[in-house]
Amino acid sequence: MSNKKRIVILGAGESGIGTALLAKQQGYNVFVSDGGCIKENYKNDLLQNEIEFEEGAHTEAKILNADVVMKSPGIPEKNELVKKIREKKIEIISEIEFAYRYKGNSKIIAITGSNGKTTTTALTYNICKLVSNDCAMVGNIGFSFARQVAENPKKMYVVEVSSFQLDDIVSFRPDVAIITNITEDHLDRYNYDVNNYIKSKFRIIENQIETDVFIYNIDDETTKNNIDKLNIRSKKAPITMNKELPEGAYLTTAQMHVKWKGEEMQMSIDDFALKGKHNQYNSMAASMAGTAVGIRKEKIREALQTFESLEHRMEPVVTIRGVEFINDSKATNINSTWYALESMQKPVVLILGGVDKGNDYNILKDLVVEKVKAIVCLGLDNVKIEEAFGTIVSNMVQVNNATDAVQAAFSFAEKGDVVLLSPACASFDLYKNYEDRGNQFKAAVKDL
């Protein structure tokens, strides 16, 4: 009988495979179980490392004898197998928790939030890597944290963290934590109670101590209303556009100020590579994080000036006959689309729709009235979109593929307009994920 600790991994996506590789390296008895098909590249990882796995089913006898279970962030608590694991009092953890346990003396900057977390993560990484290559960008943004620790450990990890990953942490403690903002999202996973979702986001700071730093946006109502209810031990570093701060980051007269430990950095927002109000918040948060880990202001300034926008996040595709096409497929909630519309300076043909996560489209109405000349509904069920905007946008059409969406949008657009894919919804009705949706959109645009 083996004395090795047994870890069962539910879900063989990027986080599951990363955990499996790290667990194998650390001497665990590893078993990976996926109810669907495992991608070929991931299957090869498992075979090459002689890791036992199954696909297309979950064998309960092999799962319920685990010492610890790492479940994919996509598997909800109400899943029957998860309930059985809980009943047996087997510890369930997330991939970021497992990776954290083996990260050694490395520092962690962790970023969460309903919107802006991917851009803020990438910006923060851009700042860190200008100083040293001994850093990695991991988590929700592509490469799993656990895989990075296993295959190429670094002194600094910039980690994008989702609420689902935070739900299953135990000891995970970032040196610097950022909450960009909190708006209603994923309520289907939180019993349609926004307070459950808020608690989940704030778990990012629950293990922090006095020497750690917590960066948060005091202009965000939900964050501001919950700060005083919590026992926060870490050093607070707020950001705002509404007032000067003795410590933290703020904007006045188009200048960003970052004040920390008696020093101050200033930079004109005209020099930011990323434009739009939402990106000013992202730039402040990233600058504050860089400052908190001791990066010099010249490097922070250079990183903000040279940053290139991310794929699927306000990504310019091409301009055809004076019509600009922008891919914002990563906008999977209402607030992301609100920020996208808010930054638009030209008339917009908006491509909207997909799997609704409990959206309140009223939030968008004022911006739609002000900026949107036509809406193309890309999804299988667009009833709520029609009800919300049918009386205020005269041009509205239903489609169910990217080619028709692009052609319809182009027919409504004139020279000087923008066609904006910013769906406000998840993509799973028609696509594998938001990347697939964005890529099909870009391909259809290029076919024009």
- Identify the DSSP state of 5: P
- β-sheet bridge partners, residue 139: 160
Q: Which CATH superfamily is domain 315-447 in?
A: Mur ligase, C-terminal domain (3.90.190.20)
Question: Under DSSP, is residue 416 helix (H, G, I), strand (E, B) or coil?
Answer: coil
| Structure confidence at residue 128 (pLDDT) | 96
CA 119, 377, 385: angle at the middle one, nearest 5? 90
Domain ranges of the chain: 6-93, 97-306, 315-447
Query: How much is the average pLDDT of 299-313?
Result: 88
Instruction: State the distance between the two ends of the chain, measured CA to CA, in whole angstroms.
Output: 64
131-140, 190-199, 255-264: segment of lowest average pLDDT: 190-199
Is 2's pLDDT higher than 60? Answer: no
Is-contact 155 162, C-beta < 8 A? no
Q: What is the CA radius of gyration of the chain?
A: 22
pLDDT at residue 381 in the model: 85
Q: Average pLDDT for residues 149-166, to the nearest whole number?
A: 96
User: Three-state SS string across 240-287, please?
Assistant: ECCCCCCCEEEEECCEEEEEECCEEEEEEHHHCCCCCHHHHHHHHHHH
Max Cα distance, the chain (Å)? 73
Tell me: the pLDDT tens digits for 23-82? 999 999 999 999 999 999 999 999 999 999 999 999 999 999 999 999 998 898 889 999
Architecture label for domain 97-306: 3-Layer(aba) Sandwich (3.40)
347-384: per-residue pLDDT in tens?
A: 999 999 998 877 889 889 999 999 999 999 999 888 99
pTM for this structure? 0.79
The predicted model gives 259-264 an average pLDDT of 96
Average confidence score pLDDT of the chain: 93
The CATH code of domain 6-93 reads 3.40.50.720
Helix/strand number for the chain, H first, E second: 17, 20
pLDDT band at 1 (very low <50, low <70, confident <90, very high): very low
pLDDT score for 193? 75
pLDDT at 446 over 50: yes
Instruction: Tell me the CA distances in angstroms from 218 to 206, 211, 226, 257, 393, one per residue in order.
Output: 19, 21, 10, 15, 34
Q: How confident is the model at residue 275 (pLDDT cuts 50, 70, 90)?
A: confident
Binned at pLDDT 50, 70 and 90, residue 333 comes out as confident
Element (H, E) at 210: none
Q: Helix 277-292 crosses helix 334-342 at what angle (to 10 degrees)?
A: 110
- Does residue 389 contact residue 337 with C-beta atoms inside 8 Å? no
Question: Is the distance from CB of 94 to CB of 73 less than 8 angstroms?
Answer: yes
Residues contacting 408, CB < 8 A, separation 6+ = 376, 397, 399
